[in-house]
Amino acid sequence: MIEIGIVGGTGYTGVELLRLLAQHPEARVKVITSRSEAGLHVWELFANLREAYPDLRYSEPDAEALKACDLVFFATPHGVAMKLTPELLDAGVKVIDLAADFRITDLRVWENFYGMPHACPELMREVVYGLPELNRERIRHARVVANPGCYPTAVQLGFWPLLKEKLIDIDHLVADAKSGISGAGRGAKVGSLAAETSESFKVYGIDGHRHLPEIEQQLNHMAEGHVNLTFVPHLVPMIRGIEATLYGRLTRNVSIDELQALFEQTYAEEPFVDVMPRGSLPDTRMVKGSNMCRMAVYRPQGRDIVVVTSVIDNLVKGASGQAVQNMNLMFGLDETCGLSAPALLP
């Protein structure tokens, strides 16, 4: 049994970890921390978890208690994991960070976007980026995993088949993405109020969303060159879900049948990527509550632009579900363990 610690267990990704781990046959949550809610039972905040965790209480963050775990998830804002991770690693504890502390390898870029010095640059050489579809074998042997962001997951999985075959012009890539409100976190903010978001649809972060350097870094690896990406995120009035519409200009004449076959072959053995039949239009409710990414590929009007639509649940495949998928790999378990429940509908 894997003994689990969760740092930051009151946000949406923390409670989603609790939900997923409650049905995991090989994991037990031993410690869950929250400075503001220390002493409360988990179910006092999240009644849906009353049966799963009748006795588990939030506690003040304590390094010694976390050192008694096999794995610690950080479901915290950026800047927290990097301060505690070296001490945990020295104690033999593995770490998965759901925030951005370890995602960007160029620390000058990281410090520019996050406005603080990095606390443990010496660890970056061994950090593994936790996108299983591309880094599965490295994740199996990792001590520290940087769990990908939600937008980056949907965008990377959609572009990967095209980039690996060098089928699109890497100087002109576009990712037009939309997220539900839970992507903004659980904190009380005027911009997240129902009265502010209902019956509305808006763009944000055009001049430089924090996920942009992560996406560009990973697409550069895929393309083995420097990509020029325009990334435009939007907020839509729903709770969960991300839809990324991706555009690329074809570098050679490839039929839609060939594109469909490429995507199907690329992901044929992937348990959590579903390439939909030709002509399908994936929507976010197809993946609600699941760890699945569903996608479809198009070549509209037979012209030279290829369009991919990629949908995920931002709290599952975009965060906590992918983190559990990485945990399974790190501990030699079946990758799908605890993650095989189908999506919720309606």
Residues designated catalytic? 150
Residue 193: other Cβ atoms inside 10 A: 11
Q: Please give the Cα distance from 88 to 300 (Å, whole number).
A: 51
* CA 48 from centroid of its chain's CA atoms: 23
* Strand runs labelled E in the chain: 2-7, 27-33, 58-59, 71-74, 94-97, 128-129, 144-146, 168-179, 202-203, 229-235, 242-250, 273-275, 293-298, 305-312
Please check whether residue 271 is in contact with residue 291, taking contact to mean a CB–CB distance below 8 angstroms.
no
Q: Please give the Cα distance from 131 to 133 (Å, whole number).
A: 6
Q: Please give the Cα distance from 71 to 65 (Å, whole number).
A: 12
* CA 177 from centroid of its chain's CA atoms: 14
Residues 6+ apart with CB under 8 A from 232: 174, 175, 176, 177, 203, 205, 206
Question: Token pair for residue 58?
Answer: 């939030």
Dump the DSSP string for 30-52: EEEE-TTTTTSBHHHH-GGGTTT
Residues 6+ apart with CB under 8 A from 202: 234, 235
Closest CA to 197 of 179, 172, 215: 179
Place of tokens 């976010």: 284
Give the H or E element holding residue 125.
Answer: none
Question: Token pair for residue 195?
Answer: 């009265």
Closest CA to 88 of 65, 56, 118: 65
